[in-house]
Structure 1
Amino acid sequence: AQAGMLSADGVCYAFDRRANGMVPGEAVAVLVLRRLPDAERDGDRVYASVLGSGVNYDGRTNGITAPSGAAQARLLSEVYERARVPVESVGHVVTHGTGTRLGDPVEINALVEAFGSGSGRSGFCALTSTKPNIGHTQAASGLVSVIALVQAMRHGVIPPSINCDEPSDYVDWERSPFFVNREARPWSAEGGTRRGGVSAFGFSGTNAHVIVESYDAGGVSEEVSEPAYLLPVSAKSEGALGRALAELAGHLERVEGVSLASVSHALMSGRHHFAFRCALVVRDAADAVRLLREAAAGERPLMVRSG
């Protein structure tokens, strides 16, 4: 607070003229990273692909509250050049966006420098920050932003960056490739995919950026062609087992095109196995729903084994 880093009124105004400091927050963020061929082989649910990433360091500056725009711009240019990703193919960048009067314009103008020279276009890429919503989660903030970007890709919607009524006058927005996305908007998939970036900066002067692309299975079928699938379900009590069976049946009914191979894999290797158990051998989703309903009702057809 004595360094002037915290918002006096407890509100994060990322990109706004009212920006007066950050608001601390807390989060636990978990990402599972695997080589794409390995994930596809094992039937994992893939949310997005990492196309490129990089880190660098500011070097000497006037302090931790005075980031280096030159170092940030250099990192951005290097990451996109090394990954061979055209900047004009990026539709959304989740920024560090802490809501500080100096830091936000430095970050945006570094993005403008790195993107503007290669695109020749203005206003084609949306900027958002998660920090007005949940605060600055410190060491977790970069991963929080990655999760936010991947969720936007999954749902095809760029969320609004809140608390920005008057964009900062330290940025020439009219000539910028960027605009602050202040309302939810559909995110079209150019060429069948969506691309986005995430920036994060550490107190020590470390800069990081990652390029992410939505996952497209293409011609890869999620459903492995097998004559049958094993669905093991367990719980800590008989009543809980019945509810779990009914809930799984409801899930299979609601989700169109569900992969029974993935469901089977998750139930066998991604769940704890408790004392009350039921295993079903199913041919397809409809067969699974029928047998799950019967098992939940206490029936034990030929293809169901309980213990």
Structure 2
Amino acid sequence: MSKSARLIEMMLYINERTKFTAKELSNHFQVSYRTILRDLEELSTLGVPFYSEVGHGGGYYRISEKMLPPLFLKEAEAVALYFSFQSLAFFPALPFKAETDFALKKLKQHFSKEAQETIEKMSGRIVFWNPSRPHPTRYLEELLHASTSSTPIQITYQKEDTQMERVIQPIGLYSSYGFWYCPAYCFERNAIRLFRADRILAVKKSEKRPVVLPYRSVSEWLHQLEEECEHPRSFIVELTRTGVRKAQSILDLERFIHVAENGKGRIQAIVPLQEVRYFTDLIWNLGSEATIKEPQEAIDLIQEKLQKLWGNYQ
């Protein structure tokens, strides 16, 4: 076995154990004790996570973080992977952001000069933009871990001017318009509720027993949310030609737009009552280019907004 092949095999061997000795490695790979010591020193330099302890019962211990063996990529594949990472650069917050930045730096260091020049040219031509939000999102990793382990957690949540304590069991995370959202089972409401991640001010463990949720993924929850509308409301909006163009640039409105031959349009959708305010806010941004016809709850919200706006100019 060549040295490079042996180092890779040793890395895999170490990954599968929490403790090992140089003698075990020597016997397993059929090389001398001194060779194993040199190999371990080289693996340590490469960043394989282990440490040694001397004395009775000593040996080598693997740190919990595992290392992947070398992955051989064509340069074009590596450049594609680099820009996949870059697509995350404009997110205001990410789970494992530090690890993502470090992996990106590692990847770029191993490119050829020509590939690095290509990346420099492309970097100024491709932007995966997300709107910047002023409020920090601190607990994405904790929410993601709680969702994958089906673990209830206690959160402090900011809702308008009120802080509240809730015990939740997250389903997962999704991002939309620069915000991260966490659908989760709320133990107080005994139902699934949607929490905006940047409004979560603190997270700690909970003693609540986990519940069995009917969703295996966030995508499944989102799909079912569309299929099974809670307290449905008919949402109808008349659009001018300009209103059609503006609404088509808003993801959550675009799919509901019906355009007539004269260029004017109509939004017609069934939305849950709890989402009426959200869709009304989207329509409000279209100004006089949109007129809500239904539901009455949305019309009332528009009138309330107009009264507040008018009061600002009295």
- Give the TM-score taking structure 2 as reference length: 0.25
Greater RCO, 1 or 2 (C-alpha within 8 Å, sep 6+) = 1
More strand by share: 2
More helix by share: 2
- Structure exhibiting the larger radius of gyration computed from Cα positions: 2
